[in-house]
Structure 1
Amino acid sequence: MLIKEELNRYNRQMILPELGLVGQEKLKAAKVLVIGAGGLGCPILQYLAAAGIGTIGIIDDDVVELSNLHRQILYNHTDIGLSKAKTAAAKLKLLNPHVNFTAYDERFNPHNAVNICQEYDLLIDCSDNFSTRYLVNDTCVSLGKTLIFGSILQFEGQVAVFNHQGGPNYRDLYPTPPTENINCVEGGVIGILPGIIGIYMANEAIKLICGIGETLSGKLMTINALDNTVLVFKIAQEKQPEIVKKEVIIETTKEIDQATLEQWLSKSADEVFLIDVREDYEHEDFNIGGVNISLYELTNAIENIPQDKKVVCYCQTGQRSKMAVQLLNGVYKGKVYSLKGGVSSIVH
């Protein structure tokens, strides 16, 4: 039930015949999780909070940096060094005190994905890396949640709605990661682009919650801010293997630290099978040995993994290797471990 102040606050959008009082009450009852409070997350959070979404979750383990401020305009220079999730929640509460915010100052990972996501009706993926995007997607598939996806790079952005009422999911669009994994840090991004794409994503959220208009379910919209090109592609849907659901419902992952791995290798190296689950260019840049099998090719290479050895998966930070362990646990009979902290914790 909307109170008098809310009726006044949302008056201009409530007079829209497509939305009305019923639509506004749907917005107040909605629970939305925004994964990532960076370039895309900032405008989405601002507009959804202003629109009157009743409950908004914000998950991000990052802190505000000076290089963020040209595009993440929810923050200012006094916020540098502070938690993005907590800072965003505090600022948004000033924007709209009628919204309930929950800040998760942690990384979205295989351990917390299901527990957090099951509390929300709608998920919005604002992450900037493929491992998180696949994890978000697979969690939504497992829980039957609708997902709004967006990505940005340089002058171009993408928006889509996945897993809505049995529609296509992210893996239907990208069964495996693109060969080139360039992010904004390496490729750059024009500051206004996350605002454009983020607002489209927020608009999709409002339409989905209120049940109005035509959404981007089963479609991919691309926007080029440099030449004003807008294209919409239809996404073909294919049946995904059961492994998609398995990788997000396993709650425990066996981890070992660097010291343990070194001890195993020094005692009986022939009993340990090392797998670098990063991409080939990452492996070539630096590795600690073993074979290189990308996370996204892992289940297709089971026959190359000996069943009688301890399998240790490693990556850059330990996140992808955790996912690898979960994938292998469903199809591999031997013992599988993840190297805690990945190779980024190893001095080289």
Structure 2
Amino acid sequence: MISQFSEDEIQRYSRHILLPEVGGIGQMALKGASVLIIGAGGLGSPTALYLAAAGVGRIGLVDDDVVELSNLQRQILHATADVGRRKIDSARATLEALNPGIVVETHPQRLDAISAEGLISQYDLVCDGCDNFATRYVVNAACVKTRKVLVSAAVQRFEGQLSTFRPWRGGPCYHCLYPQTDGEASGLSCGEAGVFGAVTGVMGTLQATEALKELLNIGESMAGRLLMWDALRTRFTTIMLEADPNCPVCGGMGAEHAHTPQQQAAPSAG
């Protein structure tokens, strides 16, 4: 298996290859894997950086925005010289500089119900860190329909949330957890409520970790669980989640694996 890597790749990924849970077989699996990242902002930045560093062979970036000066407090894919540049172009340059052995694909668009399914079907896994709830519902519905694992993270002010959704294997989908329509979703945007920059770094790094675990099929999945982090108290809390048997999106396909439900207020996206 090691012989299938170049000498540069062996050196680059040596600390992964040393791990029994990863090894050469796991690293080769990452090389052949693909991840679509929704949003090249506060959450998408650390997520993309760590997935690229880990050697995920194909990374897609979805974003229709340009870099603004106010982004640089947390969106570490971009630099001051990138202000005014499309985020996906800045992000691709940063990721290719970090790891020229991967393929970075850019999608300068805002996903809708028509485009999401076709795009998501082209990737193995989706990481959602977008900045609006309408897109989150669209992404969730497309992931359920195409049976693509969704790792979702969100932040607001000093708090973050993280979960993995794959209801066909048990547990809820995103809509089970937050059944509001996009017009009813509570929570302010980062521009309205503010966000502590380093919080997006922690949550994005956790998001990348969970994505890598899913791709490698190692450890305990966050499916059916919600991780909440209160940065001011340095307190992590994990609660069990229940699939909604009447969910209009997943149809409660994971309800047989349900746990005690605890409804949460939706946080702002990152």
- Give the shorter-chain TM-score range: 0.7 to 0.9
Equivalent of 1:182 in 163, 172, 188 = 188
Partner of 2:100: 97
1:191 deviates by 0.9
TM-align CA RMSD: 1.5
Structure whose CA Rg is larger: 1
CA contact (8 A) 2:176 2:247 kept: no
1:226 deviates by 0.7
Partner of 2:146: 143
1:132 alignment partner, SS class: helix
1:112 alignment partner, SS class: helix
CA contact (8 A) 2:140 2:150 kept: yes
Deviations 1:236-291 (A, max 9, x none): 1122455x37xxxxxxxxxxxxxxxxxxxxxxxxxxxxxxxxxxxxxxxxxxxxxx
Under a length normalisation based on structure 2, what TM-score does the superposition of the two structures give?
0.87
Partner of 2:210: 204
CA contact (8 A) 1:34 1:41 kept: yes
Which structure 2 residues correspond to residues 52-91 of structure 1 after superposition, within 5 A?
52-91=55-94
Deviations 1:128-170 (A, max 9, x none): 2111111110011111111000000000000000025243110
Equivalent of 2:45 in 42, 47, 65 = 42
**Structure of higher RCO (CA pairs closer than 8 Å, 6+ residues apart):** 2
CA contact (8 A) 1:32 1:56 kept: yes
* 1:122 pairs with 2:125: yes
Residue type of the alignment partner of 1:128: D
Partner of 2:176: 172
2:97 alignment partner, SS class: helix
**Greater shift after overlay, 156-165 or 190-199?**
156-165
Counting aligned pairs with the same residue, the percent is: 43
Q: How many angstroms apart in 2 are the aligned matches of 1:179 and 1:205?
A: 26
Q: How many angstroms apart in 2 are the aligned matches of 1:181 and 1:207?
A: 29
1:111 deviates by 2.5
Under a length normalisation based on structure 1, what TM-score does the superposition of the two structures give?
0.68
Which structure 2 residues correspond to residues 1-348 of structure 1 after superposition, within 5 A?
1-163=4-166, 165-176=169-180, 180-242=186-248, 244=249
In the TM superposition, structure 1's runs of 4+ consecutive aligned residues that sit over 3 Å from their partners are none
Q: How many angstroms apart in 2 are the aligned matches of 1:206 and 1:179?
A: 29
Q: How many angstroms apart in 2 are the aligned matches of 1:99 and 1:206?
A: 15
Partner of 1:295: none
1:208 deviates by 0.6
Structure 2 gaps, min length 5? 251-270
Q: How many angstroms apart in 2 are the aligned matches of 1:69 and 1:179?
A: 27
1:181 deviates by 2.8
1:105 deviates by 1.1
- Count, aligned residues: 245
Structure 1 gaps, min length 5? 246-348
2:113 alignment partner, SS class: coil
Q: How many angstroms apart in 2 are the aligned matches of 1:221 and 1:5?
A: 36
**Greater shift after overlay, 166-175 or 96-105?**
166-175
